Amino acid sequence: MEKVSTDKAPRAGGHYTQAIAHGEFIFISGQLPIHAETGEKVLGSIEEQTLQVLKNVEAIAVAAGSGLNHIVKTTVYVSDMELWGRVNEVYAQFFGDHKPARAVVPVKTLHYGFQVEIEAIAVKK
C-alpha cells in the first residue's frame, strides 16, 4: 500500500491520508469544500461547495496516477436531500460523459457545517 498526498488538495485533518493506492486501485478519502492553497472553507452555495469538493477529489486522483475519467465509484454525502438536484447538476457538468458508479447518502450534519462531502475510488491509468 502506498500513501498518496498532494498539496493541490487539503491536507488530511485527522488520522487518515488523502488517499491510499493499492494495486490498480486508489481509495480517496472523503473530501470537504476546502481550498488547498488557502485552507479557506467554502461555505457558499451548494454549487460552490460541490465544485470545490470535486476539484479536490480530482487533484488527489491525478497525484495518484489516475484522473477524472478513471474514477469508478463515488459516495456523495449530502446534508439535505432537497439539495440533491443542485449537487447532481454540478456533478454531471464536472464529470461530463463519464458516469462513475455512485451512492448518495443523506446525513444529518457534516464537519464545519458543510453541506457536501465526496469520497471516491479510482483506478490507475
In the chain, which residue ranges form alpha helices assigned H by DSSP? 46-63, 84-95
Cα(12)–Cα(29) distance, integer angstroms: 9
Could you tell me which of 95, 89, 55, 46 has the C-alpha nearest to residue 73? 95
Say what the pLDDT of residue 13 is: 86
pLDDT in tens, 69-125: 999 999 999 999 999 999 999 999 999 999 999 999 999 999 999 999 999 999 998
Going from the N-terminus, what domains does the chain have, and what CATH number goes with each? 2-123 (3.30.1330.40)
pTM: 0.96
* Contact of 118 with 68, CB cutoff 8 Å: no
